[in-house]
Structure 1
């Protein structure tokens, strides 16, 4: 199943041409809107260094699941 995404909206320009593996291994600051200081706060608070770690983080997954439940009701 093919999946497409507009990476211009979610990634900084320097990461838009990277492979999925490279994106998942990129620092959280590679996400559009996450500053260097914001990335440091995420690392310090949660120990999350990469986009992949952020996406797999149990707190973010729990929050996303709760929000999806609320949206569905």
Structure 2
């Protein structure tokens, strides 16, 4: 559980108080700008290596030489 130092009033807690928060509250307080610093950062999960996918060729779009054929209009 992360421990933070408040930058502003939060309920009855004054600025500079250190409180324990859960991850959801940490995110909300950070969004609102109420965190002066995170004293104990949450442990980051180690990234799981992703399996490499075989490269697939990108589909190609064939271009026609006649611009009228692209729009479906007849050329006059």
Question: Which structure dedicates a bigger proportion of its chain to strand?
Answer: 2
TM over 0.5: no
Q: TM-score, normalised by structure 1?
A: 0.21
Instruction: With a CA cutoff of 8 Å and minimum separation of 6, indicate the structure with the bigger relative contact order.
Output: 2
Question: Which structure dedicates a bigger proportion of its chain to helix?
Answer: 1
- Greater Cα radius of gyration, structure 1 or 2: 2
